Amino acid sequence: METAPAAPITERFGQLFDTLDSDGDGAITWEDYQRLVNRYTSGYSLDAADRRAQAVHASYQMLWLELLRHSSAPEARLDRDMFVRAMHSASEDRSRFNMTEGVAEAVFDLLDTDDGGSVSEAEYVRYAEILGVASETARERFRGLDTDSDGFVNREEFVLSSREYLFGDDPDSPGGFVFGVI
């Protein structure tokens, strides 16, 4: 059963649509996600065979397939309304792939460049710069993610932030970066 997303969630998913529609054609396709994945892999100078590059690619591809499964799109192209509805349905559906956690886990591994089990402020700023975000904005977002104020974002904080972005009350939740929104 499909439910209508609440206004703040609709607004967030609309912002996500705007970010992902990198070619500005008014629709999201796999190519839009592929450009995001390519930005990550080139920004981190990763070979396509690198496990982190493969994980990011696979998690975004699974997200894309889940969005298509939850949409009424006659082709592999989602306009804004279809994307928002599909994103809402897919983010709540745990029957196959938990897209919130799957994408967050893969992106966390990408950011944790030293494999230390946490993301430092420097690692986060580098990620933000790859996405074209100013260092000061990145530092501010990092402080919002570091909920225990230990100077690092651990996996739990990271994954939780993505869930809060999707379902929380704060429209400016810092967890949107998991999906490419900072």
pLDDT at 169: 75
For 69, counting Cβ atoms within 10 Å of its Cβ (0-12 exposed, 13-18 middle, 19+ buried), the class is middle
H helix runs in the chain, sequence order: 7-20, 30-43, 51-69, 80-92, 99-111, 121-130, 135-145, 155-167
- Higher pLDDT: 173 or 83? It is 83
| Number of domains into which the chain is organized | 1
d(CA 85, CA 132): 28
Does residue 99 fall inside a structural domain?
yes
Kindly report the pTM of this predicted structure: 0.83
Residue 4: pLDDT above 60? no
- Which amino acid would we find at residue 128? A
Does residue 2 fall inside a structural domain?
no
- Which amino acid would we find at residue 167? F
Whole-number average pLDDT of the chain:
88
Residue 162: pLDDT above 80? yes
Tens digit of pLDDT for each residue in 19-57? Answer: 899 999 999 999 999 999 999 999 999 999 999 999 999
pLDDT at 92: 78
- List the CATH number of the domain containing 50: 1.10.238.10
Residue 2: pLDDT above 50? no
Region class of 25: left (phi > 0), else alpha (psi between -120 and 50), else beta = alpha
Residue 180 banded pLDDT, cuts 50, 70, 90: low
pLDDT at 1: 35
Does residue 1 fall inside a structural domain?
no
Tens digit of pLDDT for each residue in 54-103? Answer: 999 999 999 999 999 999 888 999 999 999 999 988 887 767 667 778 88
Residue 87 near residue 165, CB atoms below 8 Å: no
Residue 107 sits in which domain range?
7-15+25-179
Handedness of CA 162, 22, 131, 34 (dihedral sign): positive
Residue 38 near residue 56, CB atoms below 8 Å: no
